[in-house]
Structure 1
Amino acid sequence: MTTRYSFKNPEMIIAASALIVSLITAFVSIYSAFIDRAYARSSVWPRIELARGHDTKSKFRYIVSNNGTGPALIQYARVTYDGEAIPNWQTLFTKYGLANEGMAQSHIGTTVLPAQKQINPVEINNAAFFSKHYAHDDLIGIELCYCSIYEECWLVDRENQPQPVDQCRIDDSQRFLQ
């Protein structure tokens, strides 16, 4: 005697129902993991912004701030003067024809900048520099490449419009060393 399976059979209805419930549960679990991962990335998303400031007619500084929600892993800095890469702030003073007096500097090339913090890569208290710098400020270019802890990377310049990049790479001859 042969047994015929029918979809009207109660065992088949129960099996089909269990399969459908399992597929829905798997879909919900995968979607939930996707949402959790996206939330985790956005909860530690850095956003670097560059600015300049001055207090008097002799005190000048560049400001790098992280206005994001997570730490910024700065991979490299590139500073240019009239399109030519400069390795350090002293070179900029030399281009202006000035001695590097009244300058305080912080390392910016490879550092971790916590969320809602800022650093001043250079602060100058020199009236001669101040007057020459403002006349030539449009010749100075600053570019930073930074990543989140999830290795999502961005490139930002003085226009403060971060552009996503696959990874931070720079030729050593272009790298800012401070």
Structure 2
Amino acid sequence: MAKQHQDSVWPYIYSGRSLNNNGFKMTIYNKGIGPALIKSVSINVDGTNYNSWQSLLNQYDLDTLTFYCSNISGTIISPQEEHTIFGLTKSTEALLVWNKIPNINVDIIYCSIHDECWNSNGSQIKKINSYESINGICK
């Protein structure tokens, strides 16, 4: 019965990116049936980790771009809710990032209300037993 109860509140977090007339954005979605407590979010491009959006843009000589971002570590994302964690509203800048950094992923550590935790890395979700918290990537 306890397993059935845990399954009935299972969060399912994944990230996506989009480019349209309104710009570029990275978004986190909870497509599960339970709330997700976000423990940590980190940025990864082709196996290299970045501690902030600014450090990523600096690496690709895009440090003059104007972006917006949101730190969601420590927040709860309800079922069917989404949060934009990074974005560019100028279409020329958005297209530049889309083309110059095509493999941006975010690694997300999140837990259910029963303290079961997972790592979602853009291509797969794995259950984990321990994790390292990362403060905020919106620097």
Question: TM range, normalised to the smaller chain?
Answer: 0.7 to 0.9
| Coordinate RMSD, CA, aligned | 2.1
Aligned residues: 137
Is 1:142 aligned to 2:102, yes or no? no
Of structures 1 and 2, the larger Rg is shown by: 1
Larger mean CA deviation between 150-159 and 76-85 belongs to 76-85
1:124 to 88, 99, 108: 88
- Secondary structure of residue in 2 paired with 1:144: strand
Is 1:46 aligned to 2:11, yes or no? yes
Q: 1:84: which partner in 2? A: 48
Q: 2:20: which partner in 1? A: 55
Q: Which has the higher strand share?
A: 2
TM score, norm. by length of structure 2: 0.84
Q: Distance in 1 between matches of 2:97 and 2:20?
A: 14
Aligned residues of 2:30 and 2:79 also touching (Cα < 8 A) = yes
Q: Distance in 2 between matches of 1:39 and 1:105?
A: 37
Quote the offset at 1:139 in angstroms. 4.0
1:100 to 65, 71, 76: 65
- Secondary structure of residue in 1 paired with 2:101: helix
Q: Distance in 2 between matches of 1:107 and 1:176?
A: 6
Is 1:73 aligned to 2:37, yes or no? yes
Q: Deviations over 1:89-115 (max 9, x none)?
A: 2222222323132x2211123321111
Structure 2: runs of 5+ lacking an equivalent: none
Q: 2:115: which partner in 1? A: 151
Aligned residues of 1:146 and 1:168 also touching (Cα < 8 A) = no
Quote the offset at 1:54 in angstroms. 2.0
- Secondary structure of residue in 2 paired with 1:94: helix
Q: Distance in 2 between matches of 1:97 and 1:136?
A: 10
Aligned residues of 1:73 and 1:148 also touching (Cα < 8 A) = yes
Identity of aligned residues (%): 25
Structure 1: runs of 5+ lacking an equivalent: 1-34
Q: Distance in 1 between matches of 2:95 and 2:3?
A: 48
Quote the offset at 1:158 in angstroms. 1.3
Q: Which has the higher helix share?
A: 1
Q: Distance in 1 between matches of 2:113 and 2:96?
A: 39
Q: 1:114: which partner in 2? A: 78
